[in-house]
Amino acid sequence: MKLFLTIVIVVLLVVLGLSFGAQNDTQVTVNYLIAQDTFSLPSVIAVVLVFGFILGWATTAAGYFSQRWKYGRLLRKNRKLQRQIDSAES
């Protein structure tokens, strides 16, 4: 239920943001390292939002998988030590 509510809130915030962005049709100039171009403000905001979401997700996933790898390594080490203790008791 908590996950469902979180998803609903996120979707509502994205829809609210897109509706505000659609109201603002200003043209902005984006300067690259070697060039510049003019885009509408909602498209720039959408691209930056998607890029930020992907970057945040990738960072979180990297941390999660790093922790899972460490957990697996410690679990294997624990099982090895447990086997050594069991064989020493026998």
Longest dimension (CA), the chain: 78
Strand duo 27-31 + 36-40: pairing: antiparallel
42 close to 24: Cβ distance less than 8 angstroms = yes
For 16-71, the pLDDT digits (tens) are 877 877 777 789 898 888 889 999 888 888 888 889 989 999 999 999 999 999 99
Q: Give me the pLDDT at residue 14, please.
A: 81
- Bridge partners for 30 per DSSP: 37
Give whole-number Cα distances, 80 to 23, 64, 69, 74, 87, in Å. Answer: 63, 24, 17, 10, 11
Q: Can you give the residue ranges of every domain in the chain?
A: 2-53+63-89
Q: Output the pTM of the full model.
A: 0.60
